[in-house]
Amino acid sequence: MVFKKRLDYGFNAFSVSNVRRAPRSIRKRDRTKRVVEVSRICAFELLASLAGKLLEEGESFASSNASAGHDHVSVVKDVELETQYDDKPLKTECVEHVSCDASVVTSDWTTENSDNSKEPKHSENNAILEPTLTKAPPACSEKINDDLMYTIRKCNVGYGSFTGNLDGCSPDFGDLCDDISENGVKREVKANNCLTMDPLELSMTFPSPINSDRDVKLPSHSDSVPNASFSRHRNDIKLGSRDDDEKFSRFNKLSNRFKVSRPATLIEDRRIRKFLTSKYWKAAPKLKDFEDSQADGGIKALHRKQKTYYNYDKCQYDTLYKRRKFFDCSSIVTSDGGIGNENVSNSPEKVTNKNKCHSVAMSHGACEIASLLTGHQASHKSDDSHVKLSIKSFRIPELYIEVPETATVGSLKRTVMEAVTALLGGRIHVGVLLQEKKVRDDSRTLLQTGISSEDNLDALGFTLEPGPVIGPRPIFSEEPPLQLPRGSAPQNLTSSLVVTPALDTGIPAATPDPPLLTNSAKPVDSNYEHVSSQTDMLTDQNLSESRALVPVPAMNVEALAVVPVNQKIRKSELAQRRTRRPFSVSEVEALVQAVEELGTGRWRDVKLRAFENADHRTYVDLKDKWKTLVHTAKISPQQRRGEPVPQELLDRVMAAHADWSQHQAKQQGKHHPGTLRITDSQAYRDGVVVAIPTITM
């Protein structure tokens, strides 16, 4: 419409000219949106960081906990924690990577926890932690940042069982505590683990084992947890500190954006993709590497073409590193294991009733399980003498991931996914620990082994071990194929991210957690818009935080990580490219309208004016679209493809194109003050002040 007016009256241009560029601030806003996507990833990192912090602070706790030892954990406490957590966690931590992740995670956890947190029971192992949780809450909170608290809480929740309470997820918490306590040293790692995993995982993850590199030793913990093998991990995971930083920065941006309520824009995605694609990241370790890495300590992932060896040296890697930590300290593949989580039974809550939930944490590789779950006590068996176990998460052996600084969070995620996938695909097998001892006799019954008794359930643990056998990972049955030992598909790894395509592209922000899961299954793209919208809404509030955890405590994680990963992995490469989103007629209309008013050459403004909320349309996209529209308008209708654009719009395109081309030409030539007229209008637009007749309207 405007356009017409313009045509009719040259003056319209006038109005156009009035248009000004949006203030920078606005511009930022747009960008901000884009960031959101990253948030997810960040979440992990954040979690990891959180975990780290928690651990650190937790140390103190741990000690206290240890002392408390058997205390019962009370659910209530958890709640408290949550509250605290809510308060700050994110922000504070965000500064550090951890915080962000944590926040995210936390939220998720919280949810779960809350659920679980109904009744804490205590378990022996858990006891240690519990005290912390239970009593600690307050104390902990004091010591720990909110975030930490939060994390802890989560852990507790996860561990609920250990206390005997909740779903029996308590373990996580305990683990954390343990980790912390013992390790002060490497809480991060633990944290990471925790993050990765569910609460359980956290608990599961044993710091001690994890420590291998870091050698975290869990004094108090150690007892309960067998640590033996952790040593293997080396954890070499290095996350580029830089990455982290960057991420942080990004993250921060994201967070801001989130506030804005927009999903990360494509731009970031792009960057990420670029990075990924480009040479920089090589993250995904390959199975072989994995092994090696494990042995060595780090897996090197190759990403695509480039080599990706990440050195710990660089900060960049730190980021990855952290992630890895999240996962576990271990190598990329396994470590965090978030991937590996398995929920045996169901939600803890339900389980609680009848089942005993045992959560097991896997350490993999040599790791032992840190704790188990505890579930509710007695009832577990209730049903038929079935032993019900709830494994919230498995710890993955450490993965070594290197990512370029420039890598986006999304890329990092992918990388991790790939690594995990590869790991899973490869040689992991599950080990059962009872009373910290490995149960080697597979032929024995649970009853015989003592696993059926509640008492033992607490002492039941599962570990992921690098197994000679690849097949054996029951847990990840779905993924088996993945095995991409690195050799086979370094590149594949990339693809592992695959889902990403959709995710990355379309869903950057939205996709986050839940979406991820779904995404794997669903094509996100189509939903993208919706997603974004959702994202917007969510973003501010929950998304950033919740995503990570929200969807899934343990279960979801698995689903997400595992399944999707596999699929994605192969495609990873392509994934990078944004999904194609043909412009709808309405979009074209909006574009034409905006261009008529603003002219060509001010794509940022066009974007702001007509696609402010279309995060998936960048100004570059608009410019490109305009280019194609102009082309389309010039060719015969028969030659046109795709959704037909109304001729009326094409006509306007041509008119606007001609009009603005002229303007540009004039400008270049420097407006000669000669004749104005149409020119005038142009001049206005350009901001040229011409003595224009006073035409109003």
Among the residue ranges 379-387, 400-408, 615-623, 688-696, the one whose residues contact DNA (CB under 7 A) = 615-623
Any contact of residue 581 with DNA (CB under 7 A)? yes
| Residue pair 50/99 in contact by the 8 Å Cβ criterion | yes
Any contact of residue 277 with DNA (CB under 7 A)? yes
In this structure, what token pair is assigned to residue 131?
């005290």
Any contact of residue 20 with DNA (CB under 7 A)? no
Give the count of residues interacting with DNA (CB under 7 A). 32
3-state secondary structure of 398: strand
Among the residue ranges 133-141, 194-202, 452-460, 620-628, the one whose residues contact DNA (CB under 7 A) = 620-628
The nearer residue to DNA, 85 or 603, going by C-beta atoms, is 603
Q: How far is the CB of 273 from DNA (least distance, A)?
A: 6
Site for DNA in 480-509 (CB under 7 A): 505
Nearest to 462 by CA among 333, 373, 557, 380: 373
Residues 270-299 as b or e (16 or more Cβ within 10 Å = b): bbbbbbbbbbbbbbbbbbbbbbbbbeebbb
Any contact of residue 94 with DNA (CB under 7 A)? no
Q: Find tokens 């003056």 and name the residue.
A: 11
Any contact of residue 530 with DNA (CB under 7 A)? no
Which residues, at least 6 apart from 415, have a Cβ–Cβ distance to it below 8 Å?
A: 276, 281, 283, 284, 301, 303, 320, 332, 401, 403, 407, 493, 497
Helix axes 241-260, 97-116, angle to 10 degrees: 60
Site for DNA in 430-459 (CB under 7 A): none
In the list 91, 386, 577, 666, the residue contacting DNA (rule: CB under 7 A) is: 577
Nearest to 396 by CA among 372, 429, 373: 429
Please state, in angstroms and rounded to a whole number, the distance separating the CA atoms of residues 1 and 249: 42
Any contact of residue 511 with DNA (CB under 7 A)? no
In this structure, what token pair is assigned to residue 622?
């608009």
Any contact of residue 270 with DNA (CB under 7 A)? yes
Site for DNA in 150-189 (CB under 7 A): none
Any contact of residue 616 with DNA (CB under 7 A)? yes
The nearer residue to DNA, 180 or 588, going by C-beta atoms, is 588
Please state, in angstroms and rounded to a whole number, the distance separating the CA atoms of residues 634 and 626: 12
Any contact of residue 612 with DNA (CB under 7 A)? no
In DSSP notation, 19-62 reads: --PPPHHHHHHHHHHHHHHHHHHHHHHHHHHHHHHHHHHHHHHH
Q: How is residue 366 annotated by DSSP?
A: B
The nearer residue to DNA, 574 or 655, going by C-beta atoms, is 574
The nearer residue to DNA, 267 or 676, going by C-beta atoms, is 267
| Residue pair 54/144 in contact by the 8 Å Cβ criterion | yes
Any contact of residue 657 with DNA (CB under 7 A)? no
Any contact of residue 273 with DNA (CB under 7 A)? yes
Any contact of residue 601 with DNA (CB under 7 A)? yes
| Residue pair 109/150 in contact by the 8 Å Cβ criterion | yes
Among the residue ranges 26-34, 224-232, 309-317, 462-470, the one whose residues contact DNA (CB under 7 A) = 26-34
Q: How far is the CB of 252 from DNA (least distance, A)?
A: 13
Any contact of residue 246 with DNA (CB under 7 A)? no
In the list 31, 53, 568, 652, the residue contacting DNA (rule: CB under 7 A) is: 31
The nearer residue to DNA, 371 or 593, going by C-beta atoms, is 593
Among the residue ranges 403-411, 542-550, 575-583, 651-659, the one whose residues contact DNA (CB under 7 A) = 575-583
Instruction: Give the type of residue at 526.
Output: S
Among the residue ranges 10-18, 152-160, 406-414, 580-588, the one whose residues contact DNA (CB under 7 A) = 580-588
Q: How far is the CB of 374 from DNA (least distance, A)?
A: 48
The edge-to-edge listing of strands for the beta sheet with 460-466 is 437-438, 428-434, 460-466
| Residue pair 32/256 in contact by the 8 Å Cβ criterion | yes
Any contact of residue 603 with DNA (CB under 7 A)? yes
The nearer residue to DNA, 120 or 508, going by C-beta atoms, is 508
CA distance to 57, 131, 134, per residue, from 146 (Å): 11, 18, 16
In the list 596, 619, 652, 680, the residue contacting DNA (rule: CB under 7 A) is: 619
Q: How many CB atoms lie within 10 A of CB 572?
A: 34
Q: How far is the CB of 522 from DNA (least distance, A)?
A: 18
Please state, in angstroms and rounded to a whole number, the distance separating the CA atoms of residues 473 and 362: 12
Any contact of residue 278 with DNA (CB under 7 A)? yes
3-state secondary structure of 434: strand
In this structure, what token pair is assigned to residue 415?
């990388």
What residues make contact with DNA under the rule CB under 7 A? 21, 27, 30-31, 266-267, 270, 273-274, 277-278, 505, 577-581, 583, 600-605, 616, 619-621, 623-624, 627-628
